[in-house]
Amino acid sequence: MYKIQRYSYLCHIKVKSVKLLLIRERSKSQWMIYELDQAYVPQKVERNTVPSSYFKTLLKGDLPFSLVLPPPNITGTLHLGHALTAAVEDALVKWKQMQGIETMWVPGMDHAGIATQVIVEKKLWKEEEKTRHEIGRKEFKKRVWKWKVEKGDVIGKQLRRLGCSLDWERELFTMDKERSKAVKAAFIRLFNEGLIYRSDHLVNWCCVLQSAISDIEVEHLTLDGPTLIGVPGYSKPVEFGLLFLFAYKVCDSDREIVVATTRPETIPGDVAVAVHPKDGRYTQFIGKTVWHPFRNEGIPVIADEFVDPQFGTGAVKITPAHDQLDFEVSKRHLLPTVKVIDETGSMIDGEFQGTPRFQARSIIVDRLAKMGLMRGKESHAMTVPICSRSKDVIELLLKPQWFIKCQDMAAKAVADVKEGRLRIEPKNFEKTWFDWLENIR
């Protein structure tokens, strides 16, 4: 005899070779009798359990043993990984139920943000050869919600077929009214506590999605040398894996500093040339000015220990608006920022205005050659950041963004584990916990 939430059951009773299942609610004396098939047919059992709220949480007495199903994305249907997670959680829940413990296993689904947007956009283009901009924001949102309903229904059926003992009356969606309200309330609370702030920072910008994306959504393509890569919006592949060498002329001198870069298209945004303070080749130039060939103005030569004397020529250009290290250097040396590529991936102003960034690369190299400033190019191993959703090459753009201060919260989370208030199982995952939280930015 086992007790499962509000029911008791006794199975495999044989009466003249017929197997019977007896079920009785705890609060009632009446038994319900079901004839069992010779082979187990889960669909029959589910028809008699799920519709009758078999796994409904009663919330009486002690707090229930509770779990939240990691909400699957509505980008598609469930795969084997989802089934494994659901099976493990279902085993935990059923184990507690067999002990007579109240359980609450909450199902739900996640909107998946940009990932869902991309899939719906691809579907729209495949079926109608239209973009989201052509049908308008209102209509596109309708298409996304329609997708959510269709895929959400399939996911729900899959979870039911798995026999998951989920309390479907508590089903959630990460963009439903209550969850949206909670997100706004949390945002306001964090802002009032000074934990959320707005600041200009470099973000991973996808020119195809027209959106900033997180680091985890960026793939890194490793190249050993010159490689042609297909880039959305370009009719021909773009060559990467090259190091371009060009000269900055020292003002009021016949000397020059040769600089190495993988991104000639950002040269119009250079605001300085940096060298290592102990690099004897360049100490004589520190504090001097070199002439910018496209802005017709001087930019300073600065010394900073971040420069690797072994990379390229040992002199690097500083483009704060399009490179993370350069942005940090600019803050240390109080340098300006000059943005030269916009959100569409086109050059912003000057003689290259409106030119797609990788077309501008070739044009700028040709212009430098005509000015007598090109000093060659060579093979270079590098990594190219790629948007995992659109496969576009990521552009670092300086944009105002919301950020959350994580240092204090991370320190508390570390202390909770070290002092025993929080236990992580298996214990070997503590290392991952500490690696992430002790190195939080």
CB 213 within 8 A of CB 407: no
* Predicted pLDDT at 4: 46
* Predicted pLDDT at 204: 95
* Predicted pLDDT at 51: 54
Question: Is 59-175's fold the same as 242-380's?
Answer: no
* Predicted pLDDT at 113: 87
Residue spans per domain, the chain: 1-54, 59-175, 242-380, 406-441
* Predicted pLDDT at 402: 87
* Predicted pLDDT at 304: 96
CATH number of 242-380: 3.90.740.10
CB 320 within 8 A of CB 271: yes
Give Cβ neighbours of residue 121 (< 8 Å, ≥ 6 apart).
Answer: 131, 132
* Predicted pLDDT at 173: 95
* Predicted pLDDT at 158: 93
The topology (CATH level 3) of 59-175 is Rossmann fold (3.40.50)
* Predicted pLDDT at 3: 46
pTM for this one?
0.72
Mean pLDDT, contiguous 10-residue spans, the chain (441 residues):
47 58 63 70 66 65 83 93 94 90 91 90 92 93 95 92 88 94 95 91 93 91 96 95 96 94 96 96 96 95 94 94 95 95 93 95 96 95 94 95 90 96 94 94 77
Query: What is the four-CA torsion angle of 357, 363, 365, 366, rounded to 10 degrees?
Result: 180
